[in-house]
């Protein structure tokens, strides 16, 4: 990726911009907030103090002020779930500014199961009390947004389970591992972990419900699900 032109979407403190530029990429950071401490001006201070140059632009990520096909890659970290009503617009704009063989990498996005309401999710987020616009999309909402933007998505999940046994189950090729991966897609991380730790009768019932939901969902979604440590959505043009 060295010498590639990279857009850091919703760059915040510009930590990713700095690292990418340090490794030879031509980086443009964009964020709507010019705050001195947590946003673009903090990135200016970082660039000045380290001598690592990257361009900084204030703007709306759903209306990117860049020419079409002008970036080799787009990076964003914990950005998409802050704009749940604009995710489709943002991804379409990413598609527009990416070159034909470009790639988007999105990390640290909240993912909730289909049985967890948005209100219930927000009640668990302390940052909401400080006015932070925290939301969570389901796997299917992310998948639909990518598909509608004519982009092919590969979703990589990290269950973030502290229990090494649960983590091993999730990554195994056994029936139990397959159940864990399906549960992660449908139920989200928290409920998937509960399923893996519940009694055998409840586990069988939950498995049947989960498999039925997956069969229905697969008819509507043609994206690939893989597992790997590190939550990441990797998107590229067909």
Predicted confidence (pLDDT) per residue in 63-85, tens digit: 999 999 999 999 999 899 888 88
- Outline where the chain has alpha helix (H): 15-22, 40-50, 87-97, 118-123, 139-148, 164-171, 175-187, 189-197, 200-220
Contacts of 19 (CB under 8 A, 6+ apart): none
d(CA 133, CA 21): 29
**0.85 surpassed by pTM:** no
Model pLDDT for residues 163-177, shown as the tens digit of each residue: 433 444 445 555 556
Residue 153 makes CB contacts below 8 A (sequence gap 6+) with: 142, 143, 146, 147, 223, 224, 233, 234, 235
DSSP per-residue codes, 193-225 = HHHHHS-HHHHHHHHHHHHHHHHHHHHH---EE
Q: What pLDDT was estimated at residue 161? A: 40
DSSP 8-state assignment for residue 85 = T
Yes or no: say if 30 and 10 are a contact pair by the CB < 8 Å rule. Answer: yes
- Report percent pLDDT > 70 for the chain: 61
Collapsed DSSP state (helix, strand, coil) of residue 154:
strand
Residue 156 has a pLDDT of 61
Closest to 151 in 3D by CA, of 111, 90, 91, 80: 91
Confidence of residue 115 (pLDDT cuts 50, 70, 90): confident
Split at pLDDT 50, 70, 90, the class of 228 is: very low
Whole-number pLDDT of residue 141: 87
Domain spans in the chain, listed from the N-terminal domain onward: 5-158+222-236, 164-220
How many alpha carbons lie under 13 Å from residue 43 in its C-beta half-sphere? 29
What is 5-158+222-236's CATH number, 3.40.50.150, 3.40.50.1820, 3.30.2000.20, 3.40.190.10? 3.40.50.150
């Amino acid at each position: 990726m060295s010498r590639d032109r990279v857009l850091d979407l919703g760059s915040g403190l510009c930590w990713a911009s700095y690292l990418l530029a340090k490794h030879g990429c031509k980086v443009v950071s964009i964020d709507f907030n010019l705050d001195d401490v947590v946003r673009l001006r903090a990135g200016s201070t970082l660039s000045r103090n380290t001598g690592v140059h990257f361009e900084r632009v204030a703007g709306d990520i759903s209306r990117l002020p860049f020419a079409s096909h002008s970036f080799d890659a787009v990076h964003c970290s914990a950005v998409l779930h802050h704009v749940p009503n604009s995710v489709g617009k943002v991804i379409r704009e990413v598609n527009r500014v990416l070159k034909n063989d470009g790639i988007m990498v999105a990390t640290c996005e909240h993912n909730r199961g289909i049985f967890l309401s948005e209100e219930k999710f927000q009640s668990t987020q302390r940052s909401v009390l400080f006015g932070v616009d925290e939301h969570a999309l389901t796997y299917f909402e992310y998948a639909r947004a990518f598909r509608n933007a004519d982009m092919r998505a590969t979703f990589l999940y990290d269950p973030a389970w502290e229990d090494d046994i649960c983590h091993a189950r999730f990554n195994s090729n056994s029936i139990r591992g397959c159940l864990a991966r399906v549960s992660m897609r449908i139920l989200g991380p928290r409920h998937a972990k509960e399923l893996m730790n519940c009694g055998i009768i409840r586990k069988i019932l939950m498995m049947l419900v989960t498999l039925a939901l997956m069969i229905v969902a697969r008819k509507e979604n043609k994206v690939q699900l893989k597992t790997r440590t590190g939550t990441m959505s990797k998107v590229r043009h067909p």
